[in-house]
């Protein structure tokens, strides 16, 4: 699918341009080469719903069914860079959606656990990820605000739905030095924040960017 490969390259270039535009806010001057390679590789058009395949590489949110939308590729890339993924790590995602963010993560770390509240979305993502060979990703249906303690603690956690506050269960499932990226509600909307669990167990958080995710539900 040469056409899709070309679209994917264009998407990566657009994401790179957005990193440059937002560098002052995010503190990240450029997309890491590892995340760039993952974005250039994952076949987003095979993960989004089939009738959205032709729009899969646009740098805008897309509907995925069940009233949910997925973030633009820039936000996926940024969230991924913010947890500072490294080979060998184990990460958790809350809000599997179509499975795209999980696929990007699985290009970078050893294991990805992902929880999706809507059972049909969880089943669909699990099936597609398996079919595409992402066998280091495990998906389950459930409330991700409680985390997945059986597989924790995690080196990184990415939440892809907006929360009223940072769920303590997720902070508790971070390894020392681990990072949690989560959109939280603020007066004017939502802000993407990074919570770092320091080696001494205390946490620090840093606001990164105003964002607009679908809400985290129960
Ligand atoms: N990361 C996804 C996009 C997710 S959109 C992707 O790459 O495709 C946000 C998702 O979070 C939606 O699918 C929504 O159903 C899910 N969600 C909302 N509340 C949740 C919760 N408490 N636990 C797990 N998933 C939740």
End-to-end CA distance of the chain: 39
pLDDT at 113 over 80: yes
What percent of the chain has a predicted confidence (pLDDT) above 70? 100
Say if CB 180 and CB 157 are below 8 A apart: yes
pTM for the complete prediction? Answer: 0.98
Mutate to test the pocket of ligand 1, among 49, 159, 161 (most ligand atoms within 8 A of CB): 161
What pLDDT is recorded for position 188? 86
Q: What are phi and psi of 144, to 5 degrees?
A: -70, -15
pLDDT at 1 over 70: no
Q: What pLDDT digit, counting tens, does each position of 182-217 carry?
A: 999 999 899 999 999 999 989 999 999 999 999 999
Pocket of ligand 1 (CB under 6 A): 68, 70, 94-101, 115-118, 121, 143-145, 160-161, 214, 216-217
The yes-or-no answer on residue 32 being catalytic is: no
What would the mean pLDDT of 158-186 be, rounded to a whole number? 97
Across all residues in the chain, what is the average pLDDT? 97
Torsion of CA 98, 53, 41, 193, to 10 degrees: -40
């Amino acid at each position: 699918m040469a056409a899709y490969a070309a679209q994917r390259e264009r998407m990566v270039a657009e994401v790179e341009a957005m990193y440059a535009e937002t560098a002052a806010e995010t503190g990240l001057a450029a997309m890491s080469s590892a995340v760039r390679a993952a974005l250039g590789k994952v076949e987003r058009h095979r993960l989004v719903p089939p009738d959205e395949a032709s729009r899969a590489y646009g740098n805008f949110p897309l509907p995925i069914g069940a009233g949910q939308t997925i973030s633009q590729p820039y936000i996926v890339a940024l969230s991924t860079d913010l947890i500072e993924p490294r080979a060998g790590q184990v990460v958790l995602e809350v809000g599997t959606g179509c499975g795209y963010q999980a696929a990007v993560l699985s290009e970078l770390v050893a294991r990805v656990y992902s929880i999706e509240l809507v059972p049909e979305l969880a089943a669909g993502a699990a099936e597609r990820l398996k079919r595409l060979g992402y066998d280091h990703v495990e998906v389950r249906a459930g409330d991700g605000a409680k985390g997945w303690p059986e597989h924790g603690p995690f080196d990184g956690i990415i939440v892809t739905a907006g929360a009223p506050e940072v769920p303590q269960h997720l902070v508790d499932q971070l390894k020392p030095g681990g990072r949690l990226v989560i959109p939280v509600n603020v007066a004017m909307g939502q802000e993407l924040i990074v919570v770092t669990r320091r080696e001494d167990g205390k946490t620090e958080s840093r606001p990164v960017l105003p964002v607009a995710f679908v809400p985290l539900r129960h």
